[in-house]
Amino acid sequence: MPKAKKSSPAAISEQFNISTHYDAIVIGTGPGGEGAAMGLAKQGKSVAVIERAPQVGGGCTHWGTIPSKALRHSVSRIVEFRRSGYDVEGDFSKQFSFKSILKHTERVISDQVKLRQSFYMRNECPVYTGHAQFVNTNVIEIAKEGGEKEYLSADQFVIATGSRPYRPADVDFNSPHIFDSDTILSLDKDPKSIIIYGAGVIGSEYASIFRGLGVRVDLINTRDRLLSFLDTEVSESLSYHFWNSGVVIRHSESYERIEDSDNGVVVHLESGKKMRADCILFANGRTGNTHDLGLKNIGLSVNSRGQVDVNEHYQTAVENIYAVGDVIGYPSLASAAYDQGRIAAKAMISGNDEGSLIHDIPTGIYTIPEISSVGKTEQELTEQKVPYEVGRAQFKHLARAQIGGINVGFLKLLFHRDTKQLLGIHCFGERSSEIVHIGQAIMEQKGDGNNIEYFVNTTFNYPTMAEAYRVAAMNGLNRLF
């Protein structure tokens, strides 16, 4: 790995009009940037952060994770109330518009910004607002609104600039009918129909949101199975639930062109099909925010998706520059990004491999119903020839689920037939992203602590959704012979 040429703060100041020198500068205030900045500050390092947007939080807070999950929460409550059986005159869901439920989202974003801003203030991390660009491996330029420029220097840097929706050149995103996952939050008219192109996590979540509001949804999947990285049973359950709720899924399709008109869009598929809707949400992949960072000035290259390569310590090919979060690609999760930032901070301080991400990272997919999983799938265990067994619990059989009107969903435990070691947890249904962590805690135990019999021998509160673990464990153990 090439070593960057270091200059002393005094030498740097003579060459550039440097306002301040720091031990480290973090570019981006999303989860990855926050994790790195807090980790460095708490070890006594002088740290500055640079944020292009007017407020801290990054894409996660303003356009991605927080807005979509807040929207999903509001819509799921509407769906839940509609199914509750209460005597309500008229169509309850028609009392809500996409714009009206965004008000709740805006409140959540505001609260998150205040919280995140307080972290930087308490840890004495100054936040610079503007567009950051590397001048060399020790100096960064901040272009501020109005054209003013400021130069900062540092011994080390962390690139945590996140990602943005992928926009192919042949799609006119200036059209009032064509959106990506960032601009969809500016939708000010309730569509009667929407086409969602891309059935990954983002596309599937928004399919749930719009269908929950009564919008006709066509979901175009470029692959042959919905969310193919999931356990097949879970993936098929979501497909069935979408079908049952009226979402039309078209698998193994790609667009040829998107025709824009005054009253909507027509999508021409390569298979010859045509689809018409009031608008389209293009949600087919993301690109790292590296195009205007001046990486060529420091000899750092990116791949076709704008992502930076790093080693196990999140160090780039330039010794004093690290990168974390979506800008490095997989797993592209807010939860993992924060930990990556924290681990990178440790490496920057100690220079060793102290700390690493856990091997089995839980995934949470906030469709309606939710999906969450951790560990191996049935397909992976079969391919690896691991002798496993399955334990299942249907939510509809749990008292807490019956009380809450949750009649869809299940918990599925995969465990080794001989050692009874927990190998995988897959949950489909409301509260899945919370429920999965009970099993994750046991799965992370070493030796005899990781054993499915724990769920039979412990006592759960009653009635709770957590009781699904006892039911699933007994179901699985009863299959052994």
- Total domains in the chain come to 3
Q: List own/partner pairs for 101-107 with CB under 8 A and 24 or more apart.
A: 101/71, 101/74, 101/75, 101/213, 102/71, 102/185, 104/70, 104/73, 104/74, 105/66, 105/67, 105/70, 105/71, 105/74, 105/185
Residue 49 sits in the same domain as residue 183? no
Nearest to 320 by CA among 289, 299, 291: 299
Q: Is residue 293 part of a domain?
A: yes
Residue 43 sits in the same domain as residue 106? yes
Q: Is residue 472 part of a domain?
A: yes
**Alpha carbon distance 20, 403 (integer Å):** 60
**pLDDT digits 0-9 by tens, 161-190:** 999 999 999 999 999 999 999 999 989 889
Q: Is residue 461 part of a domain?
A: yes
**pLDDT digits 0-9 by tens, 315-337:** 999 999 999 999 999 999 999 99
Residue 139 sits in the same domain as residue 273? no
Q: Residue 93: pLDDT above 60?
A: no
* Domain of residue 425, residue span: 369-477
pLDDT at residue 11 in the model: 57
CATH of the domain at 230: 3.50.50.60
Residue 134 sits in the same domain as residue 268? no
pLDDT at residue 356 in the model: 75
| Contact predicate 35/324, CB 8 Å | yes
**pLDDT digits 0-9 by tens, 225-265:** 999 999 999 999 999 999 999 999 999 999 999 999 999 99
Q: Residue 7: pLDDT above 70?
A: no
Which tokens is 369 given?
A: 């119903």
Record the pTM: 0.92
Q: Is residue 183 part of a domain?
A: yes
**Alpha carbon distance 37, 24 (integer Å):** 8
Q: Which one has a higher pLDDT value, 352 or 124? A: 124
pLDDT at residue 216 in the model: 97
pLDDT at residue 96 in the model: 75
By DSSP bridging, strand 274-277 and strand 264-269 are: antiparallel
The mean pLDDT value of the chain amounts to 92
Positions of E strands within 28-166 = 47-51, 127-129, 131-134, 139-143, 149-159, 163-165
Q: Is residue 89 part of a domain?
A: no
Q: Provide the b/e sequence for 374-390 (b: ≥16 CB within 10 Å).
A: bbbbbeebeeeeeebbb
The helix-helix angle for 201-212 and 232-245 (nearest 10°) equals: 30
| Contact predicate 368/76, CB 8 Å | yes
Last residue of a domain, one of 284, 311, 334: 284
pLDDT band at 3 (very low <50, low <70, confident <90, very high): very low
Residue 187 sits in the same domain as residue 127? no
Q: Is residue 278 part of a domain?
A: yes
The helix-helix angle for 432-443 and 468-477 (nearest 10°) equals: 50
Q: Residue 2: pLDDT above 50?
A: no
Q: Residue 147: pLDDT above 90?
A: no
Residue 143 sits in the same domain as residue 30? yes
pLDDT band at 192 (very low <50, low <70, confident <90, very high): very high
**Alpha carbon distance 411, 389 (integer Å):** 14
Last residue of a domain, one of 297, 319, 350: 350
Q: Residue 446: pLDDT above 90?
A: no
Residue 13 sits in the same domain as residue 132? yes
pLDDT band at 14 (very low <50, low <70, confident <90, very high): low
Residue 339 sits in the same domain as residue 383? no
